[in-house]
């Protein structure tokens, strides 16, 4: 039981929502609602990539969509690559709006871990 039929797809680093075009077609063909989001400075998002200083700024397009969901509405988040860190962040910010999360070859933040910690050169 999926609890919802709405998928939100989050691209990896250096990509945009365009990378999901085949997945979108397949999911919609099976009757699912699909939203693919361009994160800040990616795809057709007009944010200047040089102005992004935090994960919260980078994922703002995703958090904006989640904020606008109706009370009780839930989604399934799918994140690829660095999109995994983005959906990890969204899961902590909006736990009541997330039905499930799918990490595809993705980075996953632990509770309280910063993105700088994740990519630190220290072991």
**Average pLDDT score over residue span 32-56:** 90
| pTM to 2 decimal places | 0.87
pLDDT in tens, 68-81: 999 999 999 999 99
Q: Is residue 115 over pLDDT 90?
A: no
Of 3 and 109, the structure prediction assigns the larger pLDDT to 3
Question: Quick check: 109 pLDDT over 90?
Answer: no
Residue-wise pLDDT tens digits, 89-102? 999 999 999 999 99
Q: Please, what CATH class does the domain formed by 6-118 belong to? A: alpha beta
Q: What is the 3-state secondary structure (H, E, C) of the chain?
A: CCCCCEEEEECCCCCCHHHHHHHHHHHHHCCCEEEEECCCCCCCCCCCHHHCCCHHHHCHHHHHHHHCCCCCCCEEEEEEECHHHHHHHHHHHCHHHEEEEEEEEECCCCCCCCHHHHCCCCC
């Amino acid at each position: 039981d999926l609890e919802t039929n709405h998928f939100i797809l989050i691209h990896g680093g250096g990509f945009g929502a365009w990378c999901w075009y085949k997945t979108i077609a397949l999911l919609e063909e099976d009757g699912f609602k699909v939203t693919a989001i361009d994160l800040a400075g990616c795809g057709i998002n007009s944010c200047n990539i040089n102005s992004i200083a935090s994960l919260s700024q980078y994922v703002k397009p995703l958090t904006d969509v989640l904020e606008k969901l109706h009370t009780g509405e839930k989604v399934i988040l799918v994140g690829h690559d660095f999109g995994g860190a983005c959906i990890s962040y969204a899961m902590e910010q909006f736990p009541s709006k997330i039905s499930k999360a799918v990490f595809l070859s993705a980075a996953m933040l632990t509770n309280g871990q910063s993105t700088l910690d994740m990519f630190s050169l220290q072991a």
